Amino acid sequence: MDLTRNGPIALAENRLAWLDTRQRILARNVANADTPGFRPSDAVPFQEVLQRRGTAAPMATTNARHIALQASAALAVQDRAVAERSRNGNAVSLDDEAVRIAETDQAHALAMGLHRKYLGLFRSALGRN
């Protein structure tokens, strides 16, 4: 049984992948803050990603004719509702983006901490401290 492919380690790794995707999307929003007509976007909420993937163990492909899951669809981008636009049609608010970037950074630090702690428990159990 590979404990790194399910349970807390896999959840932390999935969360880190989602946070990486979100950080890239937010950086693109900030980079296009002066682009006329640009609409900001954000990653699909992580809870929805988990619901799409399901909480059970991943499906095993034991035959070449089995259908494989599409992982890229789980980290899709969605347009965000905007409250106001500038004269040139741009809807990026640098203040809102800065708040989202800070939230993503805090969530990344938490997920990394949990990942390290859980791997530390394995090392302790194996006597490799």
* Domains of the chain by residue range: 8-126
Element (H, E) at 77: strand 77-79
Between 45 and 61, whose confidence is greater? 45
Tell me if 101 sits within 8 A of 23, measured CB to CB: yes
**Mean per-residue pLDDT, 89-108:** 93
Is a pLDDT exceeding 50 seen at residue 102? Answer: yes
Q: What's the pTM? A: 0.71
Does the pLDDT value for residue 40 go beyond 80? yes
Residue 7 is predicted with a pLDDT of 77
Q: Is the per-residue pLDDT at 13 higher than 80?
A: yes
Determine the Cα angle at 13 with ends 59 and 129, to 5°: 115
